Amino acid sequence: MPFPFLLLFAALALPHGAQAAPPKDALALLNEVSQRYADAKSYHLEAVEEKTESNELTRRWDKRLLTAIVESDGRYRYEGVSGFGSATLVSDGSTHWDYHPVDHLYTAQPASPNDPAPGQILTAEEVTTSNAKSLMNQLAHEADRAKSPAFLPNETITVNGKSVDCYVVHYLDDSQHSDIRFEWTLWIDKSRKVIVKTFKRGETYVLTMAQGRLPRHSETAVTYPVVELDQKEPASSFSFVAPADAKLVPEFPNSFAKKPEPATAVDLVGKPAPELQLAASDGRVIQLSSFRGKPVFVEFWATWCGPCVDLMPGLTRLYAETADKGLVWLSIDSDEDADAVAAFMSREHVAWPNYHDQYGLCGKAFHRNGIPLGVLVDANGKVAFYKVGYKIPDLRAAIAKLAPEFSSVTSANLGAANSSPNGIR
């Protein structure tokens, strides 16, 4: 029997409505899907994210709408809407527009491949557009974090009003640790081999001031009503027409400068530290002034800030040298995703407590205009050190001046500290 006839006979032998068997290897499917995203030269992605965080006493729900449209010639459109505000970043290749609809303001600057600039702290409105910008990278690396992926029964789900036949893949996050657990479920469009829905369940914790761990459960569902890869978008997607009520401004009133302002540091050093209300996850509110009588180091940072992450190994060593001598350590993050912070703290074995600056009030109190920002408060409650983009040797020198018991800190591990631009590694 000729070979083509055998194939035809096999196809006719399938029951009516039956489909070809799914891939036998879930990891191979994830690799194939991830590669589709990685190879795309242009794309249009839209995502609807709903996240719930809870423990025995609290519950928080957030929703975000994200859009990322990118062409290979450098044009882009990023939109983000959340409870913290909304913003749109658009470039036609020559001009970059940044529009804040709530404020009815927009800026226009020469286009740059780095909008927003790496490491720049963002306003609340623009954090969500940064999330939109990272959508493609996340989808292109789904396979990288999968540990022992397995198929669940196929499902037909409704996405954007249409029925979609899906493979369903479940896996544990390969980056998880003994005290943090994340598990994922992905719905993959059978015909197009693209991800149309994800669900992440997390079991994490929050460090309290007494070094206790308060459990936290999270669930994050993301649907992708639009997934278009390597398709041309109309020119209108990359143009910006200012609404009639919008005003062109040189910069936003609440924006953070890309470079630190020396006058701010001069004004704060030697003056009483502003009061901070640090909200612990168990509902307690801790005031910075409650540590009066002990020096305190405060680190303003974020997991998405490269220079902040680079500092952590050096800070961890410095913490080990100074915590027993009486220096109180705490950090305040600017992240939107609290799970990302908890995972980072566990992975890097960061022992001091971290607080989430949900509304930016702590940063505002200290006139934060960039991160990483290191603040050292002496035992009398006065600011002894304040610097954006500081280096570990700078901080060591400031700590050594606090009291005689810290005098040895300035020279300890200094050789290792100078081996990188940020004074660590």
222 assigned to some structural domain: yes
Q: What is the pTM of this model?
A: 0.67
Domain for residue 20, yes or no? no
Kindly state the DSSP code that residue 318 receives in the 8-state scheme: H
Task: State which of 201, 221, 248 marks the end of a domain.
Answer: 248
220 and 341 assigned to the same domain: no
- Residue identified by tokens 């954007």 is 160
Choose among 298, 264, 259: nearest CA to 278: 298
| Same domain flag for 266 and 124 | no
In a domain, 142, yes or no: yes
381 assigned to some structural domain:
yes
Q: What is the pLDDT of residue 96?
A: 93
Judgement on whether residues 195 and 218 belong to the same structural domain of the protein: yes
Among 216, 248, 280, the domain-final residue is 248
Looking at 53-105, list the stretches that DSSP marks H as alpha helix, in order from N- to C-terminal side: none
Distance separating alpha carbons of residues 392 and 416, to the nearest angstrom: 10
- pLDDT tens for residues 204-219? 766 554 445 678 888 9
- Res 277: pLDDT: 80
3 is a domain residue: no
User: Tell me, what CATH number does 401's domain have?
Assistant: 3.40.30.10
Q: Which of 206, 223, 248 is the last residue of a domain?
A: 248
Parallel, antiparallel, or unpaired for β 296-301 and 328-333? Answer: parallel
Both 237 and 379 in one domain: the answer is no
Which pair of tokens denotes residue 25?
């290897």
Confidence (pLDDT) at 411: 55
What parts of the chain have a pLDDT lower than 70? 1-22, 113-124, 174-179, 205-213, 254-267, 280-284, 358-359, 411-425
Query: In which domain, by residue range, is 334 found?
Result: 262-417
Is 7 within the bounds of a domain? no
Domain co-membership, 304 together with 172 = no
Count up the domains in the chain and report the number.
2
| pLDDT of 123 | 63
Whether 109 and 186 map to the same domain: the answer is yes
pLDDT of residue 370: 80
244 and 266 share a domain? no
Q: Token digits for 226?
A: 């639009």
